[in-house]
Structure 1
């Protein structure tokens, strides 16, 4: 089986953050997947009725793969989305689809879809400059979490402990990038410095871990140095992860949950979840699980 991975850099083996790419290549060699890694800039798209010449790789027409696995997540650009859509137009199965990838890269839209289904999420506001600080305080209170609309591995996420801290951050953003797209969320104090990542593949939970921050950081991401340990989700946590993935159309998903009293709230969904931390602490071969799912679906 020929499988292509769409990644931000085709020289994946040279990138220290490309653990997942390396693992997929290793698992592919064991499972009969001929895996190629490509970056979006290697493709040329032609919109034409003649499908056979509508996708070029490095300027040449080449045989298409059996499957495409986008691995760009929140970093998926408009051009990368167009490449994925072209593969779909040529009837190459993609996991995840362009639609689900585009959906979850927008954190506000993700929460709009989840809230419509009455799933528990932190109260969320879309920023509008100039910021009405009083309105934000009345609606969400402080501390408050400030997020960019797209971001991954904890980037673009800030905690404002006080109104003054929030006002200073908003003034800085207004002065430097007043057109920035931001959302504000209530801070879930029970989850300060810890959260849960649940990995869903093909409509089933394959592994879960609890992440705990170090150095009093309120973010617990493994990529930021957070400690990880296996987590056994109860029925509520498992249902939230599975239902979130289903509603967002994700075949492969990393669903992040926040602790909230005796229950959970959904923090984020990831269309290209990292799994170095979860393979480190759980006895699960995530790369093999992904490839087995793809083979089953084909």
Structure 2
């Protein structure tokens, strides 16, 4: 089996962990910078080229697509899909999860509890609309941000309106959420592979920052999940159409709230915290999927 890892950072921990896991399973692997991929769009014969060489011999791809190149990354993934290549992340699922508003709409409409959320269209609407999610403080998020970027806390209604004004001028789509005080500076990252929870950790802020992202200097510890938290994480991943997901949950007085579902979760923090080889679980998923695909192809002949 030959697997391509779509990554712009071949030396990054997550990429290297996947490379190791693929090789340890006895498979071949190549790291490809998806920004260097050229796409040939011909009737009934789509092809991906990487610096002039065709990519027809890959059995599967593991996309690691950064937020800033989502559109291009999705196009490359889609082309591999059209070539019949299995991908641990579909192009549709990537686009669905990268927009926070779209993701929350899907989750909430299927019964997944989330922090109370609004998207006011104008300053005039914001003033009264903020009352729908309760009293301040409020959390304001850019719809396409990752790793805690574009996430701000407004201590008052006026501060929230001022921040929204600034984002409106920048033509940014933003959402406003309730501030869940009992989980301030803490959340739980759950990794789902296939239809199973394989690892979880609690992340905590190391300062007065209410964001717990490890990219911002937070720390992490082992955490015991409730059965409900496991079920919610698996269902959230399924609703997003993901084979591999990082589901972020807040523990609130109302119960578990899904904060976000990540299509390309980092492996370093959670593998080091839990000691669990998540990359190996991903490779096993690919092997099982390819066996199933070949079985279906054989039965169809």
For normalisation by structure 1, the TM-score amounts to 0.91
List 4+ stretches of structure 1 deviating above 6 A: none
Stretch deviating more after TM superposition (66-75 or 201-210): 66-75
Shift of residue 23, structure 1, vs aligned partner: 1.0
Which residue is 1:55 aligned to? 48
Which residue is 1:123 aligned to? 116
2:58 maps to which of 65, 76, 95: 65
Q: Contact 1:42 / 1:57 at 8 angstroms: preserved in 2?
A: yes
Alignment deviations for residues 45-87 of structure 1 (CA, whole Å, 9 cap, x no partner): 1221252x63222123343311011111544422221111111
Alignment deviations for residues 98-134 of structure 1 (CA, whole Å, 9 cap, x no partner): 1111111111111111111111111111242345332
How many residue pairs align between the two structures?
289
Q: Matched residue of 1:155: which SS?
A: coil
Q: Matched residue of 1:199: which SS?
A: strand
Mapping of residues 1-298 of structure 1, within 5 Å: 1-7=1-7, 9=8, 11-13=9-11, 18-51=12-45, 54-72=47-65, 74-130=67-123, 132-140=125-133, 141-175=135-169, 177=170, 179-261=171-253, 263-298=255-290
Q: Matched residue of 1:159: which SS?
A: strand
**Cα RMSD between the aligned structures?**
1.7
Work out the CA distance in 2 between the residues paired with 1:33 and 1:223.
Answer: 31
Q: Matched residue of 2:87: which SS?
A: coil
Q: Matched residue of 1:183: which SS?
A: strand
Q: Contact 2:47 / 2:56 at 8 angstroms: preserved in 1?
A: no
Shift of residue 90, structure 1, vs aligned partner: 0.7
Shift of residue 165, structure 1, vs aligned partner: 2.2
Work out the CA distance in 2 between the residues paired with 1:110 and 1:62.
Answer: 32
Q: Contact 1:200 / 1:254 at 8 angstroms: preserved in 2?
A: yes
Work out the CA distance in 1 between the residues paired with 2:196 and 2:212.
Answer: 24
CA distance 1:269–1:73, shift in 2 (3 Å):
farther
Work out the CA distance in 2 between the residues paired with 1:240 and 1:163.
Answer: 32
Q: Which runs of 5+ in 2 are unaligned?
A: 291-301
Shift of residue 217, structure 1, vs aligned partner: 1.0
Q: Contact 2:14 / 2:268 at 8 angstroms: preserved in 1?
A: yes
CA distance 1:50–1:145, shift in 2 (3 Å):
same
Alignment deviations for residues 235-270 of structure 1 (CA, whole Å, 9 cap, x no partner): 110011011111111110000001112621010000
Stretch deviating more after TM superposition (149-158 or 194-203): 149-158
